[in-house]
Amino acid sequence: MTLASTVRRLSDLSRHSAKDPYVEFQWPDELEPGHDWFTTPEYLSLVGTGIWPTLSEERRKSLSFHEAANFYSLNIHGEKTLLQGLSARLYRSDMVEVSPYLHHFIDEENKHSVYFGGFCTRYAKVYRNRQFSLGVQRLPQDVEDFLFFAKTLIFEEVGDHYNWVQMRDDRLHPLARRINRSHHVEEARHLLFGRALVTDLWQHQEWSRETVRDVRDHLVQYFVSGWKQYYNPDVYADAGLTHAFDLAEEAWYSPVQRAHRKTASAKCEEFLVDARILPPESLDVC
């Protein structure tokens, strides 16, 4: 399927299934952390650490609430960057072919932040963005474009794995399931678009060996720094746990968490390796 036909098909799907986050969600007056699951328990970031067996079910549920708010905050920060990057490329002469879909992409990402922000501001908070900024140095436009869409794809692939698991998990509070389901439905289209565009950009690049090496290094660093945000000391403190920074460090190096990251990244890694964007095992540093 060509990029143009993918753009047409995805634009039709977006037009016919447009949702309004202002009417789609019913917000309870309040939620009780510690009472319900908001994150799939096996996906909590402290599974596999020394403290995990000592936590009561209530404490684990409280952690699941704050980790959900962290996950939604990661999406808000990612979507802010995405909105800026997509808007900057809208109707640029070499992006005219994909501009019809960029309108839907922008529209849908804005709506996602409405409900992620709706949850965080009503019941928790928007956690600060701890991801360090990459790419301060000015790069050639084609390199910047590729990095922007490839990083978007990495961010969305990993997030979508969580959405996909959690929308099916009937232990979760119905609001958490709904947020994950709503996001997954539209992200599935963004991922199709992202894979088609990233493949197209990669196949048409004529970069030097050094540039290819730098691009690959940049993607691997982005992948690692993105994952680190799932281990947020602020979340542990909000769940009433002490030594939050030590916990984040221990969790990051836990073999259980390393295996979890591998599983949750498998689809993303498979795409990047199959498209020859990254050599096999490049992401094993994570």
Minimum separation from the CB atom of position 160 to Fe ion (A): 8
Minimum CB distance to Fe ion smaller for 173 or for 190 = 190
Residue 218 and residue 180: Cα distance in Å, rounded? 29
Size of the site for Fe ion (CB under 5 A): 5
Q: What is the three-state SS of 28-48?
A: CCCCCECCEECCCHHHCCCCC
Residues 137 and 245 sit within 8 Å (Cβ to Cβ): no
Between 230 and 269, how does the x/- string for binding to Fe ion read (CB under 5 A)? ----------------------------------------
* Nearest by Cα to 108 from 9, 16, 6, 20: 20
Would you put residue 134 in left (φ > 0), alpha (ψ -120 to 50) or beta?
beta
77 is a contact residue toward Fe ion (CB under 5 A):
no
Can you read off the two tokens belonging to residue 113? 């932040």
Minimum separation from the CB atom of position 114 to Fe ion (A): 11
184 is a contact residue toward Fe ion (CB under 5 A):
no
Residue 219 and residue 100: Cα distance in Å, rounded? 27
* Nearest by Cα to 73 from 187, 250, 232, 264: 232
Minimum separation from the CB atom of position 74 to Fe ion (A): 10
Minimum separation from the CB atom of position 183 to Fe ion (A): 6
Minimum CB distance to Fe ion smaller for 109 or for 145 = 109
The residue written with tokens 């986050």 in the block is 21
* Nearest by Cα to 263 from 164, 194, 144: 164
190 is a contact residue toward Fe ion (CB under 5 A):
yes
Sign, CA torsion 74/190/271/178? positive
Give the interface segment with Fe ion, choosing from 3-11, 35-43, 112-120, 192-200 (CB under 5 A). Answer: 112-120
112 is a contact residue toward Fe ion (CB under 5 A):
yes
Minimum CB distance to Fe ion smaller for 156 or for 157 = 156
Between 130 and 169, how does the x/- string for binding to Fe ion read (CB under 5 A)? --------------------------x-------------
111 is a contact residue toward Fe ion (CB under 5 A):
no
Minimum CB distance to Fe ion smaller for 63 or for 179 = 179
Burial (CB < 10 A; 0-12, 13-18, 19+), residue 29, is exposed
Give the interface segment with Fe ion, choosing from 63-71, 102-110, 225-233, 277-285 (CB under 5 A). Answer: 102-110
Chain contacts with Fe ion (rule: CB under 5 A): 109, 112, 156, 187, 190
